[in-house]
Amino acid sequence: MDRLQLGNIAIDVVQKDIKNIHLSVYPPTGRIRISAPTRMDLDTIRVFAISKLSWIKKQQTKLRNQAREAPREFLNRESHYFNGKRYLLQIVERDAPPRVELKHHKIELHVRPLSSNEKMKSILDEWYRQQLKGSLPALIRKWEKKMNVRVNEFGIKKMRTKWGTCNREAKRIWLNLELAKKPGECLEYIVVHEMVHLLERHHNERFIAHIDRFLPKWRFFKEELNRSPLRHENWSY
């Protein structure tokens, strides 16, 4: 990987077997990456980057001003999110196995007395994981039929830099655990995005054509996902 330095702006450059040059500015900090064809020399890439400086700065400012979720302290009436909706946390201490229940506008977190924040976080994370595991199979089956592809396996994990990934060879997709907190249409957009990679590896014109055909409103869902509050930790897609 090469790096361009334009004043105080650093740009990562990755050259690979693609036809066109692509510029991306990633949340939450505004990291910049250019993907360029292997045949393109670095001077040409630099000229392209200079021509986009105004747009880059605008996007970085927008991302850096984006709302952040405060670090979770696991206190009663603290805000937590599920399926894009805000819930108030209610901690219920009792000497029984831990569990999580949704009740109207509350997330009830049942824990043993004197449970640490780390323990409460792990219980809630596992609940989020199970919710995604329950909803993803039907969603994947729906899009397998529409796309005429096959997903052999899916997994859920914490990711610091992506909403999802796809291993084309294994036909395996991974989804970010944080998607359990986002609106359902955002989850579906990421599922479709990763499954389209089974048809096209790169984010090129063919990829865009596929996703335009399968999910015409994908740009709206992507924008909604990027507008939603980011976690306090630094991760992005």
Q: Tokens for 136, please give them.
A: 């993803």
Please give the pLDDT value at position 134.
Answer: 96
Query: Which parts of the chain register pLDDT below 70?
Result: 28, 66-71, 227-237
The number of residues making up the chain comes to: 237
Tally of structural domains, the chain: 2
- Looking at residue 69, its pLDDT comes to 61
Return the pLDDT at 185: 95
pLDDT for position 28 = 67
Tell whether 158 is covered by a domain: yes
* pLDDT attached to residue 66: 64
Domain that holds residue 202: 79-227
Is the residue at 236 inside a domain? Answer: no
Per-residue model confidence (pLDDT) at position 235: 32
Provide the b/e sequence for 150-167 (b: ≥16 CB within 10 Å): ebeebebeebeeebbbbe
Q: Which amino acid is at 69?
A: E
Cα distance between residue 44 and residue 2, in whole Å: 13
CA 98-104-108 angle, 5° bins: 15
- Angle at CA of residue 86, ends 80 and 90, nearest 5°: 50
Handedness of CA 218, 219, 222, 228 (dihedral sign): negative
Give the pLDDT confidence score for residue 159 in this predicted structure: 85
CATH number reported for the structural domain that contains residue 205 in this entry: 3.30.2010.10
Residues 34 and 109 occupy one common structural domain: no
Q: Is residue 204 part of a domain?
A: yes
